[in-house]
């Protein structure tokens, strides 16, 4: 599978993988050829695709996002099955909107505006400053606060929410004290309606912690069971919305949290 | 614009924004309706779309990723212009691959495998442990090392590379000492072929730093000019590949770095 784009290729990859995962058991190697924005680069891509075609029984599948029709026309002459997103969707959109598209490359991932860029950076900085054990957290400025025991996915989720949506997400690791008292720390109480809990299967937590600190009490199954049980009891007792991260991706965790708390994205 | 999905909606959003940015000057409000994976949720989405249609002159445009054809058929009856990615692309892909797709929702952002999840988390941890001023960095384990003066975008880029591609990216902030000597610190020399430099327009750097520490010497235009000049001289002198982050997005910075260093993604 090739992902050919005159920009980063992220759109082609996202779409391509979403479609190909619909074919169960299909194994494929994905090669991204980004920034193919002139004839020479497209001809180099075509040559590489044709070499792959010659080496294999099935012809390659190419997902493309080329805004320039003449480049697409060259690509489609390669010995591959070519699906071009812009070629398929732009014409019907032009008709619906009664206006012509600009056919300019790299727009979607070009920097839309300084404001958007600044928002994203601010969100990342916020997540980093409000990660496990922040020294002087400003929870009042958080769009949401993730709570959970150590290694339930709080940090990656906060960073994903910052990068993808510009959301200001803080996280707070539940302590033995919080779990013992079955209550939230005082400083979190004013933010109650923006708190979301993450939990995880104790067996999986045991695996993850063992990788980090093999043989430690922290990683023991008994300790993991105890902490997870405590956290889930706290969520139930305080009616805190929560989900288990055991079998879902960071993208799904992030999207479900925004939906549950009714939070609007700050980007796009 | 609506993004309707039986999963996170990230694919529909990515594609929709990429297409809509092709229409210069088009302003739109995007609403994402994720996890619409049953009849009740689709009917609720249709009702919301129809309300928006009644309030506006132009009918809404809907980008959908619905794997279940019966749900798509309901959505398409709304008073909107509906483009469904799976509906358009799955049939030709099925023909090309000579196999049926599973029409199962949420596959692309479901957790592909524990291995992939672990790789992603490991990459994020690596980026966090090798951020500005890491105490005991293991640069020998880095896929790449970003260098540059403070606030050129090193941290966000490293985190993006980790989340999106599972790449282990470290970053090292160039010191006055490095800039004065026009050479890399000794501990970076073995990693020379994996080093990439970030630079930025001094005026823009001045803006960014002023937000952080208004009126400081660190933020002054003179200081910014001096540091940027020093960094660019170092990159030229040591023939370190580099780019300016002034007007490009984090996605583009990330993709260009991987391409320049010839680094393979660890995810997908």
Backbone angles phi, psi at A82, to 5 degrees: -105, 125
Tell me the pLDDT tens digit for each residue of A180-230.
Answer: 999 999 989 999 999 999 999 999 999 999 998 999 999 999 999 999 999
- ipTM of predicted assembly, 2 dp: 0.89
Nearest to B251 among A8, A92, A259 (CB): A8
B123 occurs within a structural domain: yes
Residue A185 sits in the same domain as residue A133: yes
B237 CA: distance to closest CA in chain A (Å): 27
In a domain, B102, yes or no: no
Q: Given a cut of 80, is residue B49 above it in pLDDT?
A: yes
**With an 8 Å Cβ cutoff, are B85 and A19 in contact?**
yes
User: Are A86 and A124 part of one and the same domain?
Assistant: no
- A124 and A67 share one domain: no
A33 domain residue, yes or no: yes
Domain count, chain A: 2
Whole-number pLDDT of residue A268: 62
- Dig out the tokens for A120 from the structure: 């994203």
Per-residue tokens: B26: 């088009």
Cβ contacts (< 8 Å) between A22 and chain B: which residues?
Answer: 67, 86, 90, 93, 101-104, 107
Instruction: Compute the count of residue pairs across chains A and B with CB atoms less than 8 Å apart.
Output: 200
Q: What is the pLDDT of residues B139-175, one digit of tens each?
A: 889 999 999 999 999 999 999 999 999 999 999 999 9
Chain B nearest CA to A181, separation (Å): 31
* pLDDT classification of A87: cutoffs 50, 70, 90: confident
Same domain? For B124 and B93 the reply is: no
pLDDT band at A112; cut points 50, 70, 90: low
Is B63 in the same domain as B174? no
All residues at 6 or more sequence positions from B34 whose CB lies less than 8 Å from its CB, including other chains: A255, A256, A259, B3, B5, B7, B8, B9
Burial label, B98 (beta-carbon count in 10 A; 0-12, 13-18, 19+): exposed
A51 in any annotated domain: yes
User: B8, A164: Cβ pair inside 8 Å?
Assistant: no
Given a contact cutoff of 8 angstroms between Cβ atoms, the answer to whether A170 and A139 are in contact is: yes
DSSP 8-state class, residue B32:
E
pTM for the whole structure: 0.90
Is residue B106 assigned to a domain? no
- By CB atoms closer than 10 A (0-12, 13-18, 19+), residue B266 is middle
Structural domain of residue A36, as residue ranges?
2-97
In B191-247, at which residue ranges do the beta strands (DSSP E only) sit? 195-199, 242-244
B119-135 pLDDT, tens digit each? 899 999 999 999 876 77
pLDDT at B26: 87
> Where are any strands of DSSP class E within B67-165?
81-84, 144-148
The verdict on A127 and A254 lying in the same domain is: yes
Nearest to B28 by CA among B19, B38, B41: B19
Measuring CA to CA, how many Å separate B33 from each of A155, A244, A252, B37, B55? Answer: 25, 21, 13, 10, 19
């Amino acid at each position: 599978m090739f992902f050919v784009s005159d920009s980063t290729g992220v759109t082609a990859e996202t779409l391509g993988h979403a479609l190909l995962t619909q074919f169960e058991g299909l194994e494929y190697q994905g090669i991204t050829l980004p920034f193919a924005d002139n004839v020479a680069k497209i001809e180099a891509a075509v040559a590489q695709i044709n070499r792959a075609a010659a080496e294999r029984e099935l012809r390659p599948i190419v997902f493309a996002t080329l805004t320039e029709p003449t480049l697409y026309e060259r690509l489609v002459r390669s010995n591959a099955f070519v699906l071009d997103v812009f070629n398929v969707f732009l014409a019907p959109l032009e008709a619906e909107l009664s206006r012509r598209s600009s056919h300019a490359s790299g727009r979607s991932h070009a920097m839309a505006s300084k404001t958007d860029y600044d928002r994203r950076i601010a969100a990342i900085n916020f997540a980093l400053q409000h990660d496990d054990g922040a020294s002087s957290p400003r929870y009042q400025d958080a769009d949401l606060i993730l709570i959970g025991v150590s290694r339930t996915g709080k940090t990656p989720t906060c960073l994903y929410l910052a990068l993808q949506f510009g959301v200001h997400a803080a996280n707070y690791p539940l302590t033995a004290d919080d779990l013992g008292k079955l209550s939230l720390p005082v400083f979190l109480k004013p933010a109650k309606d923006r708190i979301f809990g993450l939990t995880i299967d104790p067996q999986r937590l045991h695996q993850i912690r063992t990788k980090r600190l093999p043989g430690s009490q922290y990683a023991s199954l008994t300790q993991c069971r105890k902490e997870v049980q405590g956290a889930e009891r706290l969520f139930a007792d305080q009616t805190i919305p929560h989900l288990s991260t055991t079998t879902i991706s960071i993208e799904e965790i992030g999207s479900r949290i925004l939906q549950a708390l009714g939070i609007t994205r700050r980007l796009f």
